Structure 1
């Protein structure tokens, strides 16, 4: 799968999305995007220890926290997992496969976004030494719902205001307006209002556009976030 025997492989579901070779004690950063609710697998690619080596292997997965100590996502030492050292937010979410040293983190949410370090130590004649280290920048995304476009009449029944709204996406998205014909020059005259839901950290977004009563043609809106676009029906 990868050239060399030292590295970190990250898989999303069944697809290999990260394959990097490291020298001893050095790490390279790669960015991976994971959908909310899915799982991400992080594998320290080393010769899989035989049964006599498990007692002398230490493996740690930590998340970097700005201006604070790292959070321990997973800890393995003395031949067994160390749940007492694990941060509470990762309890019952991380599993180690001894077949290939794969760490699986499940139930991904926006709160998991950030930088992670995977390190492996082996016991040698001079004590435990760092053998393998990998660095991952984890980005989270969630699809926004299809935007709903509402039209509110002004004087004499003419369309005066258009409101575009969409829910449940991540990261924070922007509302864009598409008007045909585009002679009104009002494409970028509004701002997006985005509100994050405290429980899920997902965003609800909306945009408001004032349309001249003399305007003719069609209009629709799109929500753009993390390179993904979802659009309303035309009106």
Structure 2
């Protein structure tokens, strides 16, 4: 019997239902193993096997794309979709033991697919002996969000940025005083795919002016059960200058001398002042300027803005 071409055999595979299913997670850039193992642990002759790994092509109805395959009579596996060339591998030694798992290198966001493993035996008139569906979920960590601002106008504007994450995130702004979530209507978030197929986030928060603002930006990666939060605390206060006078403190030494002694001392001082032109500077403390005094900050916002 001549080996059938991959395209002809695919015509026979359409419409088949998976006998078992599982889900796998992998980080972008990592390697992953998609399991497809014959349950009874038999040994197999590679010349008697047709092994296919394939995915459904979005937007093409029932059309499937071959990731990699092994045909009866071949000494190696071939590739169907160029996206998986040199990245998708089958182990010939493992297949002899009934392990038809796919080894996928350098995972990309485009690999988030449902992969189907199909195994047929030539000696059984291409009877299907194994079918496994594996759904691959792909994830990438977002960068720690960076919050800038605020710009101060009629309202306060904060901007949060985070890059190179997957899948698409949830974006929240929170009041860090009580960790409550701010009204989504106050934010405008833009999530876009970059050249690597990963998501970048820019979120702008606009809130009314308050004396003290303590807000945080939260990027949630649902697949990784991960929340990345960074924040910004801003105190908006007016400056108030105050000039104080040092009061004459009655606790200085010599202030409790008898009145006569005081008069005598004063008379001596006046006499010296007339002689030297210096008048009472050592006993008259000048006014002292204490500088700008910050107004007492009000409590941080504790309710939704």
**Fold equivalence (TM over 0.5):** yes
- Determine which structure has more spread, i.e. the larger CA radius of gyration: 2
Q: Secondary structure at the match of 1:44?
A: coil
Corresponding position: 1:194 with 2:188? no
Q: Secondary structure at the match of 1:45?
A: coil
CA distance in structure 1 between the partners assigned to 2:102 and 2:146 by the alignment: 40
Q: CA RMSD in A?
A: 2.4
In structure 2, the gaps of 5 or more residues are: 1-16, 234-305
Higher helix share: 2
From the superposition, tell whether residues 108 and 224 of structure 1 become closer, same or farther in structure 2 (CA, over 3 Å): same
Q: Secondary structure at the match of 1:89?
A: helix
Which residue of the other structure, out of 161, 167, 171, is the alignment partner of 1:165? 161
Q: Secondary structure at the match of 2:147?
A: strand
CA distance in structure 1 between the partners assigned to 2:200 and 2:57 by the alignment: 27
TM-score (norm 2): 0.61
Match of 1:152 in 2: 150
Q: Secondary structure at the match of 1:111?
A: helix
Aligned residues: 204
CA distance in structure 2 between the partners assigned to 1:144 and 1:183 by the alignment: 21
Cα distance, 1:45 vs. partner? Answer: 1.2
Which residue of the other structure, out of 47, 56, 59, is the alignment partner of 2:48? 56
TM-score (norm 1): 0.78
Cα distance, 1:28 vs. partner? Answer: 2.9
Q: Which has the higher contact order (CA 8 A, sep 6+)?
A: 1
Corresponding position: 1:109 with 2:108? yes
Higher strand share: 1
Corresponding position: 1:229 with 2:230? no
Corresponding position: 1:87 with 2:85? no
CA distance in structure 2 between the partners assigned to 1:185 and 1:61 by the alignment: 45
Kept after mapping to 1: 8 A contact 2:77/2:89: no
Q: Secondary structure at the match of 1:55?
A: helix
Q: Secondary structure at the match of 1:137?
A: strand
CA distance in structure 2 between the partners assigned to 1:214 and 1:231 by the alignment: 22
Match of 1:70 in 2: 64
Match of 1:134 in 2: 132
CA distance in structure 2 between the partners assigned to 1:220 and 1:133 by the alignment: 48
Off by >6 Å, runs of 4+ in structure 1: none
